[in-house]
C-alpha cells in the first residue's frame, strides 16, 4: 500500500519524553554462560538504547515529532548516542551515558551500568523546559529518575498536558508521577505488586478506585473508565469478565486483534466496583524462525501507543497497532533495528479503518 493511501498524520504530533538514554552492546549467544564458564558470541552489535530513547525513536519513525529530556556525557559514546537519535528525527536536549550490555538468545538479559551524576531538576532551566513543553500533546515518562521526573511531571500537569507513565515495577517516587498520569502502560505484574490485590482484574479495579480519572494499559489489556451519569445496570465479576474475553480468542489467528466487553459495572470482591469497558488485545504469533530478539519490544509498544493517542485511535484499533509494532521489533537484533516506519506495508492494515487481515512482515525487519 502506497504512503499516499494512508490516513492523514495526526494534527498534534509533538510529544515529550523523559528518562533513560544509554548505549547497548548486543551479544547473541547459543546458550547463557554458566558460572566460571566461557562462551563465544555468534554476533555482536553496538546500538543506542534506553527505554525513553527507544520509545521516542519508535515514535519518530511513526512520523511523530518527539523531544527527549535526558542526559549524556560529552564523550565519544555520548556523541554516538546523540547522532543516532538525531538521525531518526528525535529532538535531543539534555542527555548521562550509562552502559547497557544485552545478552540475546531470542529473549534478552540486561546488565545495566547507570551513569553519574543523574539528571537533577537544577539541570533543567525554566526556559528550556518551557520550550520542550510548548505544543506537546503528551508527555511520556519511562519510570526512571523518579525525583526529577516528578518535577517535570508537575510542570506538564500545570500546563494540562496529558501524561503517560511506563510503570514497569515499583520504584521509590513512582507514585508521585502516577497520581499525575492520565495513562499508565504497566508491566503485567505491576498492578498486583502496587495494589497487593489477589488478581489482575481486581488490581485494575483497585487502581481505578485509587486514581479514578485515568485509563490504564497493562501488557495488552486496556481498561477504559466509563464516566456516565447513570451507571450500567449489569454488574459482573471482573475476573469472570476477563476470562470470558480470553475464551473468545481465536488461536488460529496470527495477527494481533482486540476483543471488547460491553459497558458494565465491574466488581472486585472486597475492593469495589467501577463502570467501564475492558479490552483484551492479543500479541502477534511470531514463527520461531522469525523471532530474533525481544529487546525493546515494550518500548516499541509504548511508542505506538503514543502515536495512537496523538491520532485519537480507539483502544480496539490502538492495541493491535501497538502489538504489531512491538512484533516488528522482535524480528531483528536490538531495540531499534526492526522498528518500522509509518509507511511500511505491514502497518497499513492497522492504520486504515476496518478489520485486520494482512500479516505482511515489515520490510525493515531484517536480522543483522
The rounded Cα 295 to chain-centroid distance in angstroms is 12
User: Does residue 341 lie in a domain region?
Assistant: yes
* Cα gap 328→286, rounded to integer Å: 9
Give me the pLDDT at residue 3, please: 47
User: Does residue 174 lie in a domain region?
Assistant: yes
Whether residue 140 has pLDDT greater than 60: yes
User: Does residue 228 lie in a domain region?
Assistant: no
User: Does residue 268 lie in a domain region?
Assistant: no
Grid coordinates representing 333 are 537484533
Q: For residue 87, give its domain range.
A: 11-31+41-223+282-351
CATH of the domain at 65: 3.40.1190.20
Residues 174 and 146 sit within 8 Å (Cβ to Cβ): yes
- Predicted confidence (pLDDT) per residue in 193-212, tens digit: 999 999 999 999 999 898 86
Q: What angle do CA 332, 333, 335 make, to 5 degrees?
A: 95
Confidence band of 234 (pLDDT split at 50, 70, 90): confident
Give me the pLDDT at residue 36, please: 75
Q: Which residue has the higher pLDDT, 276 or 109?
A: 276
User: Does residue 259 lie in a domain region?
Assistant: no
- As a whole number, the mean pLDDT across the chain is 86
| Half-sphere CA count of 217, side-chain side, radius 13 A | 28
Give me the pLDDT at residue 110, please: 64
DSSP type of residue 197: -
Structural domain total, the chain: 1
User: Does residue 170 lie in a domain region?
Assistant: yes
- Backbone dihedral region of 89: left (phi > 0), alpha (psi from -120 to 50 degrees) or beta? left
Amino acid at each position: 500500500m502506497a504512503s499516499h493511501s494512508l490516513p492523514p498524520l495526526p494534527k498534534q504530533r509533538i510529544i515529550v519524553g523523559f528518562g533513560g538514554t544509554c548505549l547497548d552492546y548486543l551479544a547473541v549467544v547459543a546458550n547463557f554462560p554458566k558460572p566460571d564458564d566461557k562462551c563465544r558470541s555468534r554476533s555482536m552489535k553496538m546500538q543506542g538504547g534506553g527505554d525513553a530513547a527507544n520509545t521516542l525513536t519508535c515514535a519518530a519513525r511513526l512520523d511523530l515529532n518527539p523531544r527527549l529530556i535526558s542526559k549524556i556525557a560529552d564523550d565519544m559514546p555520548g556523541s554516538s548516542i546523540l547522532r543516532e537519535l538525531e538521525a531518526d528525527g528525535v529532538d535531543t536536549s539534555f542527555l548521562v551515558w550509562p552502559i547497557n550490555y544485552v545478552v540475546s538468545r531470542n529473549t534478552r538479559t540486561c546488565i545495566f551500568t547507570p551513569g553519574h551524576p543523574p539528571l537533577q531538576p537544577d539541570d533543567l532551566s525554566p526556559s528550556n523546559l518551557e520550550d520542550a513543553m510548548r505544543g506537546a500533546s503528551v508527555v511520556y515518562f519511562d519510570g526512571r529518575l523518579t525525583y526529577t521526573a516528578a518535577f517535570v511531571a508537575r510542570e506538564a500537569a500545570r500546563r494540562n498536558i496529558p501524561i503517560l507513565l511506563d510503570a514497569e515495577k515499583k520504584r521509590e517516587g513512582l507514585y508521585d508521577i502516577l497520581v499525575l498520569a492520565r495513562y499508565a502502560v504497566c508491566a503485567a505484574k505491576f498492578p498486583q505488586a502496587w495494589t497487593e490485590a489477589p488478581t489482575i482484574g481486581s488490581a485494575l479495579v483497585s487502581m481505578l478506585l485509587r486514581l479514578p480519572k485515568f485509563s490504564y494499559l497493562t501488557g495488552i489489556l486496556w481498561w477504559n473508565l466509563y464516566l456516565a451519569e447513570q451507571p450500567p445496570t449489569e454488574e459482573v465479576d471482573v475476573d469472570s469478565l476477563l476470562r470470558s474475553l480470553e475464551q473468545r480468542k481465536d488461536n488460529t489467528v496470527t495477527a494481533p486483534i482486540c476483543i471488547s466487553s460491553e459497558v458494565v459495572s465491574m466488581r472486585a470482591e472486597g475492593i469495589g466496583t467501577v463502570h467501564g469497558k475492558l479490552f483484551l488485545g492479543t500479541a502477534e504469533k511470531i514463527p520461531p524462525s522469525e523471532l530474533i530478539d525481544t529487546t525493546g519490544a515494550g518500548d516499541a509498544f509504548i511508542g505506538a501507543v503514543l502515536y495512537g493517542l496523538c491520532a485519537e485511535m480507539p483502544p480496539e484499533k490502538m492495541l493491535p497497532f501497538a502489538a504489531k509494532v512491538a512484533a516488528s521489533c522482535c524480528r531483528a537484533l536490538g531495540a531499534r533495528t526492526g522498528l518500522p516506519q509509518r509507511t511500511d506495508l505491514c502497518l497499513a492494515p492497522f492504520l486504515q479503518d476496518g478489520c485486520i487481515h494482512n500479516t505482511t512482515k515489515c520490510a525493515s525487519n531484517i536480522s543483522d
